[in-house]
Amino acid sequence: MTYIIAIDGPSGSGKSTISQKLAEILKIEYLNTGSMYRAVSKYFLDNNIKENSTENEISIALNKIKIDFINNEIYLNGENIESLIRTDLVTKNTSWVSANKIIRENLVAKQRQIASTKSFVVDGRDIGTVVFPNAKYKFYLTASTKERAKRRFLQKESNLSIEEIEEALIKRDLYDSSRAISPLKKADDALEIDNSKQSIEQTLQTIISYMDKEDVL
Ligand code: DC
């Protein structure tokens, strides 16, 4: 039997690192949905699609986008864009992109299709609430904003200072959790793990300890 592990939480809560390692340990697949919103954001920046573009323009552009994952790296229309989607510009532009209804519907359909035939760890903001409400396992990762800013800073993908990153995180959290469509929210049946003071291994062990033995072998 295939199953889904939904991992949601704000940025810098360790979702991607934990999800990727968890999938490796369990020998199942990993889907990073944040990368998909970032890929669309990058394509829109490159093709002059903006927040005030018409629904028609957005739909036409979406139909020109093909997203694939190969070895956990994201490809946009055949080009590996993994190293191009975490710049400050793409990150900032992803806010409106991920709040747009047409774009979300398009990407949620893709996510359901990708994870339809195998067991998957899927990370994002709305995985346990909207994309896979019937996921067998649901976890909601959090950490203090100071700790999350520090982690982002150490990734060295931003040109901002720690203080600026923390400020941007707080803004983005507020935007993500207060948007009308699929806001960042813990599913009622998800287990919340605050990993501010936990190592990656400790968080992984906590997650695995909640799983059925048959899925961990
Ligand atoms: O996890 P991340 O930082 O790579 O996500 C990038 C952006 O995409 C962030 O603004 C939240 C948004 N996102 C979303 O709205 N829904 C998801 N399932 C995943 C990410």
Ligand 1 pocket, 123 CB below 6 A?
no
Ligand 1 pocket, 34 CB below 6 A?
yes
Q: Does domain 4-204 have CATH number 3.40.50.300?
A: yes
pLDDT at 85: 97
Enumerate the H helices of 47-129 as residue ranges.
55-63, 88-98, 101-114
Residue nearest to atom 1 of ligand 1 (CA): 34
Give tens-digit pLDDT for 170-215: 998 998 899 899 899 999 999 999 999 999 999 999 999 999 999 9
Running along the chain, 217 residues long, what does each successive block of 10 average in pLDDT? 96 93 98 98 98 98 97 97 96 94 98 97 97 98 96 88 94 89 94 96 97 93
Cα separation, 202 vs 195, whole angstroms:
8
Name residue 76's beta-bridge partners. 67, 79
pLDDT at 156: 83
Give tens-digit pLDDT for 180-191: 998 999 999 999
Q: Which of 125, 152, 165 to mutate to test the pocket of ligand 1 (most atoms within 8 A of CB)?
A: 125
pLDDT at 146: 96
**Side chain identity at 56, as an amino acid letter?**
N
pLDDT at 12: 87
- Listed by start position, the domains of the chain span 4-204
Instruction: Say how many Å lie between the CA of residue 33 and the centre of ligand 1.
Output: 7
pLDDT at 155: 85
Which residues in the chain belong to E strands, given as ranges? Answer: 4-8, 29-32, 67-70, 73-76, 79-80, 120-124, 137-142, 191-194
> Closest ligand 1 atom to the C-alpha of 126?
18
Q: Is 167 exposed, middle or buried (0-12, 13-18, 19+ CB in 10 A)?
A: middle
pTM of the model: 0.94
